[in-house]
Amino acid sequence: MIAAVGVVAAVYAVWLYFGLLQTIVVSLILAGIYLILFHTRWCYVAIKTAPRDLRALWCYIKILWITRSLSRKNWTLPDIFHETVQRNPNKPCFLFQDEVWTFKEVEDYSLRVTAVLKKHGVKKGSIVGLLVNNSPQMPALWLGNARLGGVTPLINTNQRGNALLHSISVAKCDVLIFSDEYQSAMQDISSQLDPELKLFKFSHRPLNTTKAEKNASGDGIGDLTSLLEITPPAPWTLADADGFQGKLLYIYTSGTTGLPKAAVISNSRFVFMACGLHNMRLNSSDIVYCPLPLYHTAGGVVSVGQALVFGCTVVLKSKFSASQYFPDCAKYKATAAHYIGEMCRYVLATPPSPADKLHNVRVIYGNGLRPQIWTEFVTRFNIKYVTEFYGATEGNANIANTDGTPGAIGFLSRIFPKVYPIAIIKVDEETGEPIRDASGLCQFAQADEPGVFVGKISNNNPTREYLGYVDKAASDKKVVRDVFTHGDAAFISGDILVADELGYLYFRDRTGDTFRWRGENVSTSEVEAAISTVADHRDAVVYGVMVPNTEGRAGMCGIVDCDGTLDLQLLARDLARDLPPYARPVFLRVMASMDMTGTFKMKKTDLQKEGFNPSLVKDDKLYYLDLKQGKYLPLGSEEYEKILKGTIRL
């Protein structure tokens, strides 16, 4: 207080002596001296992070400029794509196997789709589902529907039975287009489908427009590809849709639990997600390698958006192959490559070869590159830049690592915290409910203190809007109120993050995945990373299981050993070196393979339900950790009963 009064007195004295201009200069100098003397640490952080924050601020301004411009025009994706086509009609838009699709060819195909769907009653507000495999035609199909003002749910092609039926019904599809290879999956649920649902079968083949083909099968399913062959492209017009803020796609959260939920993607959100990534070291001349499924946001929006919005050439793959990742990049002359989930670990696990560096990839981007393998990956494959980003399909809390700091998924600005209002809030470990201060506002986590990531909701701002799910009740569960100020609202991600002193953000876990054992919190993602590192990058999933008459949950690890080479004694020794006692898995489940989601996340729900009970685990081998011997010992029915009785102490 005394120091502040002294500064004010000094400023007033200078004003009397020198006048206004000199006073401003001297005031700035005195303010600088004050900050250095009394806020030294803040000055250090500001100087250290200023280049990062200013670079990100410039990217943010460019995103706002583009989205505001398109908002004023009120264009939708087919309109935006048309402008891209006008600039690059004969440039390759999509490369797929040996096929080359120019921008004009993709638009012409989409115009045929528009004409066919219009003839069959599709109009503004219609819901046309796609159960279609990766191909250049897939984005053209939903572009054709969007031109009519329809919304397209992109259905996970791995779904079968009840999950597939749920995805069709929760979106309230009027029409469903499915690839011919999924005909048996459709037949399995045909009796449960709404009789009013119109079905069209799609075949991936070059269009033969010189003759008319049979366009309907005996079961009344239209042959869409044949219809496209006999239908000329519709004349190009601006889309008859709800404009830039209108709905474009439904994309289902892959999740590792429960039935999928359909998240709403508007035209504005599509552009924001594509634009946000593009401004992080990409340019329109890039050739982007995308081996991801196009029914998810990562492949279908972020990567496809580089072509539709910015005119990049995008390489599509029918499925991901670790051994072909960089050879493919070399084959197609890719300059940027997309990854997600465990992809980088799988690629790193391939045998070293000269092909590791015989490519032109300048930047890789995505989410899920584990800190433990970050440096090894970029060194081995000679990658100059990594853009690790974070964001939920349905959420608005989107961040990116703009300077390649290993392990960081983004940052909180310590200089401009209000420009992009995101935060880490404290939550109750048992209930997951936000912890609030005396005034009722959420409490924010301090540096190096874990908490749940949130993003403030602001309507009509593509960077801050929250559209949620088709299911309103599910949407409301992801909103927390009175966060930054009274009366506001924020999207609560459900992810536990931690920020260091400089504001760099690091992923810790999903809420619910962290469990307590021996009075300590155990992060499943950290244990998984440690196990994978010492076990030759094997698939490993960690979860907590209940043990009768024991407080907390014991750690259990499902680990893949498809060739019988897993050395349990070596694993126990290495984990004892790398993990504290409370974090080491008490139980092991050794498996031949592991179920994965479409975004290469490991499923753990069923494993957790079966726990360590040998009567429920039929085909896999179980082990428990004997701490005295420091070994994993076989766990059969006899050992199981002894653990329940407390004869074997964990």
Whole-number Å distance between alpha carbons of 563 and 541 = 18
Residue 603 phi/psi, 5° resolution?
-85, 135
Of 587, 543, 542, 539, whose CA–CA distance to 563 is shortest?
Answer: 539
Maximal C-alpha separation, the chain:
97
Instruction: Let me know: does 346 contact 536? Beta carbons within 8 Å.
Output: no
Under a CB-based contact definition with an 8 Å cutoff, are residues 146 and 78 in contact?
A: yes
- CB–CB of 272/249 below 8 Å? no
At residue 19, the pLDDT reads: 56
Residue 299: CB partners within 8 Å, gap ≥ 6? 134, 290, 292, 293, 338
Which pLDDT belongs to residue 363? 97
Angle 35-39-44 from CA coordinates, rounded to 5°: 95
* pLDDT per 10-residue tile (average), the chain, 650 residues: 58 55 61 61 84 91 92 96 97 97 98 97 96 97 97 92 89 96 92 93 88 57 93 94 95 67 93 93 96 94 97 96 96 96 88 93 93 93 95 83 92 87 86 88 92 87 82 86 92 88 87 70 81 84 83 86 86 84 88 73 77 88 88 90 82
Give CA angle at 461 (458, 462), nearest 5°.
120
Cα end-to-end distance, the chain, whole Å: 57
Closest CA to 143 of 53, 221, 79: 79
- CA separation for the pair 292, 342 (Å, rounded): 12
Q: Which two tokens stand for residue 163?
A: 């999950």
CB contact at 8 A, 537 and 346: yes
Task: Return the pLDDT at 16.
Answer: 54
- Which residue, 485, 475, 557, 481, is CA-closest to 515? 557
Which residues contact residue 389 at a Cβ distance below 8 angstroms, ignoring those fewer than 6 apart? 276, 277, 280, 365, 366, 367, 398, 399, 400, 401, 409, 410
- Domain annotation for the chain: domains and CATH numbers: 74-92+102-267 (3.40.50.980), 513-645 (3.30.300.30)
Helix (H) or strand (E) holding 125: none
Question: Are the beta carbons of 343 and 324 closer than 8 angstroms?
Answer: no
User: How far is the CA of 356 from the CAs of 257, 290, 344, 367, 631, in angstroms?
Assistant: 36, 18, 13, 21, 37
**pLDDT at residue 256, rounded to an integer:** 44
Residues 6 or more apart whose Cβ sits within 8 Å of residue 182: 131, 157
Q: Which of 371, 300, 355 is nearest to 322 (CA)?
A: 355
CB burial readout 290-316, b (16+ within 10 A) else e: bbbbbbbbbbbbbbbbbbbbbbbbbbb
The answer to whether 108 and 233 have CB atoms below 8 angstroms apart is yes
What's the one-letter identity of residue 28? L
What integer pLDDT is reported at residue 600 of this predicted model?
Answer: 62
The count of other CB atoms within 10 Å of the CB of residue 611 is 19
Contacts of 20 (CB under 8 A, 6+ apart): none
Q: Which two tokens stand for residue 539?
A: 């698939």
What gap in Å lies between CA 201 and CA 231, rounded to an integer? 16
Show the 3-state SS of 437-474.
CCCCCECECCCCCCEEEEEECCCCCCCCCCCCECCHHH
Contacts for 386 with CB less than 8 Å, ≥ 6 apart: 363, 364, 365, 369, 374, 378, 401, 404
- Alpha carbons 203 and 222: distance in angstroms, whole number: 11
- What's the full length of the chain, in residues? 650
Say which amino acid occupies 330.
A
Strand order in the sheet with 198-202: 222-223, 198-202, 175-179, 128-131, 152-154, 247-252, 262-266
The two structure tokens encoding residue 570: 């070596």
Asked whether 302 and 277 are in contact (CB, 8 A), the reply is yes
